[in-house]
A and B are shown apart, each in its own frame.
Chain A
Amino acid sequence: MRDGTDEFVVFDHVQKSYDGETLVVKDLNLSIGKGEFLTMLGPSGSGKTTCLMMLAGFETATHGEILLDGRPINNIPPHKRGIGMVFQNYALFPHMTVAENLAFPLEVRKVDKSAREERVKSALDMVQMGAFGGRRPAQLSGGQQQRVALARALVFEPELVLMDEPLGALDKQLREHMQFEITNLAHSLGITTVYVTHDQTEALTMSDRVAVFDDGRIQQLAPPDKLYEEPENSFVAQFIGENNTLSGVIDKIDGDRCTVRLTSGDLIDAKPVNVTKPGEKTLVSIRPERVEFNKDRLMPGAHTLKAEVLEFIYMGDIFRTRLRVAGKDDFVVKTRNAPDQARLEPGRQIEIGWLPSDCRALDA
């Protein structure tokens, strides 16, 4: 979907401070391609919403430049930026009907009445709300309000749409459905979307690329699969998906292989990511679904760890087994519920291992 050469939105060394002392956003550099669906993901207070507000024009950057289609927009007021936005609480005008809400951006743009009605109608049809034009927002359910908010952000055909946790207030099923609808709409209309959320599932399923924010910085900017499989630091590894961590010290480094001595004294194989020399402290991270029980599937000479089964949880599609490994009793393994999959009963002693490429040695 992404056209790599065309930089539509650029954050150039952007900083933001509310009180003149602490930086909420620290030296942000980010380019977003035309037509790209980019998600800003991070815990609350990580600076993601502030970035979105700066892009919308509701906050000003303390330092640095934001460019939209090559033009600096720092001095352009919000109402002249022409950026669509879906607000967290939808921000529908309660005193106007749905159709009036949608007509509002067209009215202020002096679109004549017949063209206006046509565009309102097609925007409502686009979100399957055609029959609700005459209702007030208070008469709609959360999901319907969400659709109207989406239609209102799109009706004036902006090239860039911002979404600030738009699905936060919906129940799980509706949320999953809307995730699918929003991505479909964004891609079929070819608009650039910047989406803010703290929900990692949402980020992974919807985005072309995800920017993981923490402490006012982008910790990693990557497509969802890369983010999940190849986290670049321990924050990203912890934040995205479930993750087992073991702490230790680098024993040996040899290219893209390293040996880590855990605090328990055991040796394991790992892939060095942001560690450089022996003796350095490290946190190794292994995804629960990449742990192997079957010794035959491991490489010859691979290190293994002794583990004791503490708990076996049947979750339907998967089994979730909690183990005590290297002195830690929160090591989780997920296995698929396949006919040949063993169910490990608590108390059993087993040996586990993994491919060195699945075990990433990160900063401690």
Chain B
Amino acid sequence: MSGLPIYATTGQRVWYYTFRVICGLIFFFLIAPIAVIIPLSFNAEDFFTFTPKMLALDPDGYSLKHYRDFFTNNDWQQALWNSFRIAPMATILSVSFGTLAAIGLSQQHVPFRRVIMAVLISPMIVPLIISAAGMYFFYSRIGLQGTYWGVVLAHAALGIPFVIITVTATLVGFDRSLTRASANLGADPVTTFFRVQMPLILPGVISGGLFAFITSFDEVVVVLFVGSAGQKTLPWQMFTGLREQISPTILAVATILVALSILLLATLEILRRRSERLRGMSPG
């Protein structure tokens, strides 16, 4: 086989194949729960299990009825609409504040950089339930609890750490002499930011934004605390759906979300390659 040198001992050969089997098992463990919901979401019956017809690959065993349910049921449509109203706005806030924070914190002369950074990253580390409870009490006090902006702000706070981390990582490779060159050529700091710095850190900004978007789109704990019925998002609807009326529509929604995530991750990878090309790592 390729990869295995001719002089390999029996022990090495055994380990070579065992290693592959172990990797395969780990992969299976990670993927199986996700993979299994995809065929189940096309179930013609209202069950969470494979019917004999499905196992026989009989076309009658499959249907799009759960997808139809998702797209016609008012509860689901309202939840989808809420998610699409909250996630983009939370993403915009996360990206703007997170990018500015990352740029500010990458300057050497800012005092207490590490402390400030730790505070801003903390929503990622503190258990979500604690953040959620804290936000609930705080937002109730200032009248944001149960409002659209309350949920948006809470999700923005959860998304900011992702943006800070990805943008900081891009800034590490950013050549400071480029901003100097820009200033030297006559561009004021704002022009320099938008014409020189922003285009070069854009991949970091966008991938941070994608993470922030997914965080908001997937989030259920905080929205349960901070939101009210008017802000019922897709994950919230799935959560209540699981508890109250067990319907395979959840599987259809899950499949759609998986597809969306794959799409976003692919975008991310394409952006990463583009940024590498721009930095001259692989000319062409």
Contact = CB atoms under 8 A, between A and B. Distances in A.
Interface of A: 56-58, 77-85, 87-89, 91-95, 104-105, 108-109, 136-139, 152, 156
B196 interface: yes
Interface residues of B, number: 25
Contact of B200 (A79, A81, A94, A105): A94
B279 A78 contact: no
Given A89-B175, A108-B191, A95 B185 contact: no
A91 B175 contact: yes
Contacts of B196: 93
Nearest to B202: A95
Interface string B115-129: 000000000000000
Interface stretch (B39-47, B139-147, B176-184): B176-184
14 contacts: A56-B180, A56-B184, A77-B183, A79-B186, A79-B187, A84-B184, A94-B278, A95-B278, A105-B187, A108-B185, A108-B191, A138-B277, A138-B280, A152-B185
A-B CB proximity, top 8 nearest: A138-B280, A91-B181, A105-B185, A78-B183, A91-B177, A79-B183, A108-B187, A85-B184
Contacts of B277: 138
B195 interface: yes
B269 interface: no
Nearest to B178: A91
Given A87-B177, A95-B199, A139 B184 contact: no
A94 B180 contact: no
Contacts of A85: 181, 184
A92 B280 CA distance: 12
B231 to A, nearest CB: 40
B280 A79 contact: no
Most chain A beta-carbon contacts within 10 A, residue among B177, B184, B187, B199: B184
B186 A82 contact: yes
B75 interface: no
Contacts of B199: 95
Contacts of A92: 181
B278 A104 contact: no
B186 A87 contact: no
Nearest to B280: A138
Contact of A105 (B180, B186, B278, B283): B186
Nearest to B195: A104
A327 to B, nearest CB: 49
Contacts of A108: 185-188, 191
Contacts of B191: 108
Contact of B280 (A58, A84, A137, A152): A137
B101 to A, nearest CB: 23
Contacts of B181: 85, 87, 91-93
Contacts of A109: 186
Contacts of A87: 177, 180-181
Nearest to B181: A91
Contacts of A104: 182, 185, 187, 195
A138 B175 CA distance: 14
Given A84-B184, A105-B187, 14 more contacts: A77-B183, A79-B182, A79-B185, A79-B188, A81-B184, A83-B184, A93-B178, A93-B196, A94-B279, A95-B199, A105-B185, A139-B283, A152-B185, A156-B186
A83 B178 CA distance: 16
A56 B185 CA distance: 11
Nearest to B192: A79
A89 B181 CA distance: 11
Contacts of A105: 185-187
Nearest to A87: B177
Contacts of B284: 139
Contacts of A139: 283-284
Contacts of A80: 186
B184 A79 contact: yes
Contacts of B200: 94-95
Nearest to B200: A95
B182 A58 contact: no
A78 B192 CA distance: 12
A275 B280 CA distance: 56
Contact of A89 (B177, B187, B189, B192): B177
Interface in B166-220: 175, 177-178, 180-189, 191-192, 195-196, 199-200
Interface in B237-284: 277-280, 283-284
Interface string B4-22: 0000000000000000000
Contact of B180 (A58, A81, A84): A58
A199 to B, nearest CB: 20
B283 A138 contact: yes
A136 B251 CA distance: 48
A92 B175 CA distance: 10
- Which of B177, B186, B199 counts the most chain A CB atoms within 10 A? B186
B48 to A, nearest CB: 50
A101 B277 CA distance: 17
B183 to A, nearest CB: 4
Contacts of B187: 79, 104-105, 108
A136 B284 CA distance: 9
A139 B188 CA distance: 28
